[in-house]
Amino acid sequence: MTCIVLSKTHLGTVPTEDLEFGQEMLDKFLHTMERPELRPDVICLYTDGVKLACEGSPTLLGLELLSGLGVKVLLCGSCVERFGLRDSIKVGEIATMKDIVSELVSADRVLYP
């Protein structure tokens, strides 16, 4: 089983002025995983990563497509509450940190892009 962890709203480390580029790269990353041989089993979102599953996110379509292809998308409930995003969530399910850690420890591969 493969698990992807997204804790930022962009891919990699980019300066503030290149944040949009980092978001575009994350969107490309997500769409690349639509191919069956590259598709993870689970995507875990926590800290700023929960914002990816919200209305208006530039990567929302990619997450929705992956979810529709059977990828489990888990959002840290504490993070969703901290940012006041419960009503903005468009994809995935709210999970506890215990749920997320369980996915991580049972995975054969965990990727932190």
Domains in the chain: ranges and CATH: 2-111 (3.40.1260.10)
Amino acid of residue 110: V
Calculate the average pLDDT of the chain. 96
Instruction: List, in order, residues 6 or more apart from 42 with CB less than 8 Å away.
Output: 1, 2, 3, 4, 71, 72, 73, 74, 103, 107
What digits encode the pLDDT tens for the residues 56-95?
A: 999 999 999 999 999 999 999 999 999 999 999 999 999 9
Confidence class of residue 27 from pLDDT cuts 50, 70 and 90? very high
Provide the angle, in degrees to the nearest 10, between the axes of the packed helices 19-32 and 60-68.
10
Largest CA distance in the chain: 38
CA dist., res. 92 & res. 69, Å (int):
12
| Cβ–Cβ < 8 Å for 33, 40 | yes
Q: Strand order of the sheet with strand 42-45?
A: 93-95, 72-76, 42-45, 2-6, 109-111
What pLDDT is attached to residue 74?
A: 98
The pTM (predicted TM-score) of the whole model is 0.94
Average pLDDT over every residue of 93-109: 97
